[in-house]
Each structure stands twice: as C-alpha cells, then as structure tokens.
Amino acid sequence: MNVSQSVVADEHEWVRNRAPTVVALIDTVRADLCDQFGTEVGTVTLGQYHAAVDEVFANGDLAVNVAALTRLLRDLDVDGDYPGFVVDELLGRELAGMVAGTQPLRLLGEATFHYADVLTHGDAGDPAGADDLDAALAAGFQTRLPGWEWTESRSPFESE
C-alpha cells in the first residue's frame, strides 16, 4: 500500500461520508454508556462529526496514520475471519486511540472501541475489518467530541 497525499484526501472524504453510520453508532454507544455509568451525555450532530473529522485530517502527521489505518481496515479480510480477529482488533483499537486524542482520551477511545465493536456487525460480504472500522471511528470520535460533563469542567487535579 502506498499512502500519498491523494490517498489521505480520499480517506478524509470517505470518513466524512461515513457520517450517518458513525454518528448513529456514536449516539448508541453514548446512550449505553450513560445507562451504565448513571450520567448524561450529549448526542452528536453530523456537523460536529464533520468538524472533528476535518480537525483530525488537518494535522498532517495524524492524518497520514489515520488514513493508512482506515484504508487497511476497509480492505482487511482473512479467510475464515477468526485468524484475522486479532489483526482487525489491533488496528481498530489503534485507530480509535489516534482519533480520540492524547491521554487519557486515547485510552478511553481504545477501551470504548471494544464496546462499540460488540454493537457493530458488518453486512454479508463486507471485509472482516469493515465493522471494526466503524467501531473505531465511533469510539474515537465520540471520545474526542464534547458532551461528557467531566471533560467540560476544570480537573480538580490541575496545578494552581
């Protein structure tokens, strides 16, 4: 695989166009996590998602890596699927972490990926990595985007 500027631009557009599927999954994940943790979190709009995708792809060093992982997951398939389970999980988790941001958001994105992956099932005939790609994008962007109360207030652990 060769990752050029045009490949990065193509993947940027592909991730933007995936908004209806990814935003629906983000909102499902957020609703489930709210129930689990007894909190409230905002839903995500298509505009918020598009802005966050543009922000990720505006950082060239991040964009090339996100584009490469996106392209790999879009095409990844393994005969019998199970042997490839580790590979698509690894790539999906890494993509979710990259999209989520720096620590601790990165770790939360990676953890949320596994939850989102359980909720995501590809269509018959899709490559094995397709559902992991949707789960990774949903987990990473839901973590990156506002709505969680604890991310919108000052940490009690900040230095004065």
Angle at which helix 60-75 crosses helix 85-100, to 10 degrees, equals 150
Q: Which two tokens stand for residue 154?
A: 């000052």
Residue at 157 is within a domain: no
Q: What is the pTM of this model?
A: 0.92
On the question of pLDDT at 81 being above 80, the answer is no
On the question of pLDDT at 126 being above 80, the answer is no
**Structural domain harbouring 75:** 5-147
pLDDT value, residue 1:
87
**CA-wise closest residue to 130 among 75, 84, 82:** 75
Q: What is the count of structural domains for the chain?
A: 1
Residue at 152 is within a domain: no
DSSP helix/strand/coil, 150? helix
Residue pair 88/73 in contact (Cβ under 8 Å)? The answer is yes
Q: Per residue in 41-66, pLDDT tens?
A: 889 999 999 999 999 999 999 999 99
Residue pair 84/77 in contact (Cβ under 8 Å)? The answer is yes
pLDDT value, residue 137:
98
Residue at 56 is within a domain: yes
Q: Which two tokens stand for residue 57?
A: 């792809």
Residue 60 burial (10 A CB sphere; 0-12, 13-18, 19+): exposed
Residue at 31 is within a domain: yes
Average pLDDT over residues 81-91: 77
Residue at 93 is within a domain: yes
- 39 to each of 100, 111, 150, how far by Cα in Å? 20, 18, 10
